[in-house]
Amino acid sequence: MKERDFKIYRGDDERGELVSYKCNVSEGMVVLDVIHKIQAHQANDLACRWNCKAGKCGSCSVEINGKPRLACMTRMNELEEDKTVVITPLKSFPVLKDIVTDVSWNYEQNQKIKPFTPSKKDTEKGFVMMQKDVDRVQHFRKCIECYLCQNMCHVIRDNEGKDKFAGPRYMTRLASLEMHPMDKADRIEDVKDVHGSGMCNITRCCTEVCPEEIQITDDAIIPLKERVVDRFYDPIMMLFRKLFGKKKETTS
Amino acid sequence: MTLTLGEFSMLDISGIKRLQFDVLVIGAGGAGLSAAISASQEKDIRVGLICKSLLGKAHTVMAEGGMAAALGNVDNRDDWKIHFRDTMRGGKMLNNWKMAEIHAKNAPKRVRELEHWGAVFDRTKDGLINQRNFGGHRYPRLAHVGDRTGLEMIRTLQDHGIHQGIDIQMECTALDILKDKSGKVSGIVCMYRETGEFIVFETKTLIFATGGAGKSWEVTSNSWEYTGDGYGMAYEAGAELIDMEFNQFHPTGMVWPPSVKGILVTEGVRGEGGILKNSEGKRFMFDYIPEKFANETADTEEEAARWLQGDKDARRPPELLTRDVVARAINTEVKAGRGSVHGGAYLDIATQRSAEDIKRKLPSMYHQFKVLAELDITKEPMEVGPTCHYFMGGIKVDAETSMTNVDGLFACGEAAGGMHGANRLGGNSLSDLLVFGNVSGVEASKYARKLKSIPKSDDEDIKRIIKSATSILNREKGNNPYLIHEDLQKNMQYNVGIIRTKDEIVDGISKIDDLKSQFKDVKAAGTSQFNPGWHEALALRNLLISSEAVAKSALLREESRGAHTREDFPSERKEWLEYNIINKKGKGGKMETIKEKRSNPDPELQRIANSSIEDLDKEVKLDHKK
Ligand code: SF4
Ligand code: SF4
Ligand code: FES
């Protein structure tokens, strides 16, 4: 058991400050445990979101020492011993209270996506799809909607970008639908016009923070951009192709 | 309407926001989403859905292993009859017969429907939905996606549901049910967590898909949401709670480090071949095979190994016995001093499967242990122990309509009781959510259609509900809700845990009484905006009602059956098979706990459940030929 120093953002979108707390930390504790302990004993009204405490629901996203992380999957012993741990809300979304942000913009993006549209109905046996043809789709579907990638994407950080680009999470979802062997809807025009794939300039910052290690940029966004280019035009993708050649897709 | 200090004394609710529905679903896990979707398919039915968290975060995401359905994709000997028989035997024959039948018959249809809504299950070699083995299931039966089946289910329902015209209200807590003069459901008072603003939903029907009350125990796999809100509200409205003594302790929760104690380790680990060992290195489950399952369980390691290789003549390993059996076995080993370093058992998959297989079949388990326990499960055994997981009991419903004894109030999923009897089989929960979510959505719509207009609520009731919520904030000083909750959890863990005796339960009940009076003076500091202390205090009432019902039922049931183990009555007693235990609010406001005689089962269902497995296999073979 060791006493450690913390600073947690308290306040709302307009006003707020970093408040200092001390908390005893024992073996195996994660940052979310610390937040809960402070909540139970020092600040009953400290707002935070969480559900599963096991990295599966994507509720507890915050910034820890400036890095977007899941609070429930960040062990205290990963963080430097003698340094104050600073916990702040996600930067890309408005603060509701303390470290809880308003993520409703993400739900709005999802709503705009054409839903799964089965190409045939087989209620007797179900679909016939080979495992190798769904591997990539399943990889995308591991997403826990933590929005850490959304938070990280510089296009979305810039508020105006929010009107133009759905962000890496929804590029991943679009890719999972487009690559689903039994889906018949066409979303390529939407990918470009509604969801703004052209805004992404392949910096890969989103991929770096994904707790599910989804290859967002390489496996989802680039193939989507390829499809857009094949039909329309994407300046960044044209340049990318010039530099690296056309990438072959493994899954159709 | 945001209430601040002092305002509540002259409560004026004329400005309060009101919304109208035909069917309003409370809870947006698998059951709630299914219910809302099926109601939305009905003509001219206005459907609402409210959830305590953000949409898509409910505890269903934690379900790992899969959903049980006799699709017969991996082993075509499977059939609804065998699934039904397994479910009844797993539930120690205390299940609601009709519900178990409806479940087994409809699960395959619902799983395929989910696939048509976009779920991408793991595939067999022929490209069909793959199915895995699980405790208590005779044949490989669980449709799954690696070890994140619950996430797949909730995301699929979510992404499908948002296009069905359902009005979804997030981070909204339900406080209490409203009824009209004749006792029909007329609405519900809720509060937005973000602002603390109150809202009245006026509705012809309510479907409670509110989950269980796993947060009553200290070691639990449940998140903050599982505070028995549905039980508490339904009870207060006059509904009956059934089978509340049956609380499933999942045999394998994490035990180390302390901060993750209780987090679920999927039964899939054992389904994929994981074995349980004690500190002496002994594979102890062979010593705990109950008489009833002896015929169907391997008695040597050699036979168990053959089964894992896919030998259809070999019997299943004892690690796959039902959850109650495995949980008690681990408990006994630990008590006898043969526990693991941190007081659990060793669960070893490393020596049974290649590292590559483990990472592919159990990716989130691999990840979970790596990050939270700094342990590589492809190299070392995990330490596991029982953790409170699931309420078999719940709100009593009619098997065919999911309606409670309160007109217009329906319940499904973990919130409803009866389907699983004394013990639930793994994998039967996700399928239950789909099957009865669907039933309740359809039936609530039918009921709603019969009413010309929404029954009228009494404003005085609305005021009373709001006042009792705001008084927690307005009190000058009082008890810390977190500490009351901690005490309750300790009490339930110690006095009404896995192994129960009369004296301890009696102590437990008197402690609950104590906590109930402390709760009367509970105080949350701060304002009404996103205030977890206040939310915790509001949940306490429901936790206390749930815990009281559990304890009182546990005291009354003087036998051990399924998940309910009484040290002072160590075996099943035949006479108790005839009764369910019911809790309801009695006259004078006290909880009444009574024995209720079960009705006689349909003789055909009884015959199927009691058939020997050999006979039933033969019968199914004939059925399939037809
Ligand atoms: S790769 Fe694209 S989506 Fe990802 S952070 Fe960069 S710009 Fe955003
Ligand atoms: S893609 Fe990864 S980082 Fe983005 S929301 Fe999903 S899980 Fe989170
Ligand atoms: S609490 Fe679910 S991901 Fe952290």
From B523, B566, B557, B542, select the one nearest B216 (Cα to Cα): B542
pLDDT at position B616? 97
At the second CATH level, the architecture of B249-388 is: Alpha-Beta Complex (3.90)
Length of chain A equals 252
pTM of the model: 0.93
Write down the pLDDT at residue B190: 98
> Residue B502 phi/psi, 5° resolution?
-55, -50
ipTM, two decimals, is 0.93
Record the tokens describing residue B608, joined without a space: 């199927």
Only one residue has tokens 């089978």, namely B243
Q: What is the pLDDT of residues A50-60, one digit of tens each?
A: 999 889 999 99
* Other CB atoms within 10 A of residue B192 CB: 20
What's the pLDDT at B1?
47
Q: B220-264, pLDDT tens digit by residue?
A: 988 889 999 999 999 999 999 999 999 999 999 999 888 888 998
Q: What is the C-alpha separation between B588 and A83, in angstroms, rounded?
A: 58
Rounded Cα distance, B344 and B254, in Å = 9
pLDDT level of residue A246 (50, 70, 90 thresholds): low
Q: How far A102 CA lies from chain B's nearest CA (Å)?
A: 9
* Per-window interface: B 129-148 vs A, CB < 8 A: 129, 145-146, 148
The residue to which tokens 């953790």 are assigned: B387
B160 catalytic? Reply is no
- Name every chain A residue with its beta carbon within 8 A of the beta carbon of B532: 39, 44-48
CATH of domain A2-101: 3.10.20.30
Distance (Å, whole) CA B210 – CA A103: 23
According to the model, what pLDDT value does residue B469 have? Answer: 96
Q: What share of chain A is helix, strand, coil (3-state, %, to 5)?
A: 40, 15, 45
Residues 3-32 of B with CB under 8 A from A: none
Q: In the predicted model, what is the mean pLDDT of residues A56-74?
A: 96
Residues paired with B26 in a beta bridge: B50, B208
Cα dihedral B9, B14, B19, B20 sign: positive
What pLDDT sits at residue B232?
Answer: 98
What average pLDDT score do residues A212-227 get? 95
Is the CATH number of domain A104-244 2.40.50.140?
no
Burial B48-65 (b: 16+ CB within 10 A, else e): bbbbbbbbbbbbbbbbbb
A21-35, A73-87, B3-17, B163-177: range with lowest mean pLDDT: B3-17
User: Chain A partners of B480 at a C-beta cutoff of 8 Å?
Assistant: 44
- Cβ–Cβ < 8 Å for A251, A136: yes
Boundaries of every domain in chain A:
2-101, 104-244
The three-point CA angle A51-A56-A61 to 5° equals 65
Half-sphere exposure of A37 (CA within 13 A, CB side): 16
pLDDT of residue B10: 64
- Are B376 and B370 in contact, with CB atoms under 8 Å apart? yes
pLDDT of residue A162: 93
pLDDT, chain A, mean: 92
- Selecting among B46, B110, B132, B270, the annotated active-site residue is B270
pLDDT tens-digit readout, B252-270: 999 988 888 899 898 889 9
Spell out, as residue ranges, where chain B has pLDDT lower than 70: 1-10
Q: How far is CA B80 from the centre of its chain?
A: 22
From B59, B120, B527, residue closest to A134, measured CB to CB = B120
* Residue A247 confidence class, pLDDT cut points 50, 70, 90: low
Mean pLDDT of chain B: 94
Q: Give the pLDDT score at B4.
A: 47
Facing A126 at nearest CB: one of B56, B58, B112 = B112
Q: Closest residue of B to A59, CA-based?
A: B57
Residue B250 annotated as catalytic = yes
| Burial (CB count within 10 angstroms: exposed 0-12, middle 13-18, buried 19+), residue A49 | buried
| Amino acid B613: pLDDT | 93
- Give residue A124's pLDDT band: very low, low, confident or very high (50, 70, 90): confident
pLDDT above 90 coverage of chain A, percent: 80
Residue of B285, B239, B488 whose CA lies nearest to B388: B488
List residues bridging with B579 in a β-sheet: B597
**Which of B58, B162, B367 has the CB atom closest to A55's CB atom?**
B367
Q: Which one of B83, B103, B250, B353 is the catalytic residue?
A: B250
Which H or E run contains B108? Answer: helix B97-116
Helical H segments across B134-287, by residue range: 149-161, 229-236, 268-271
Handedness of CA A48, A52, A54, A55 (dihedral sign): negative
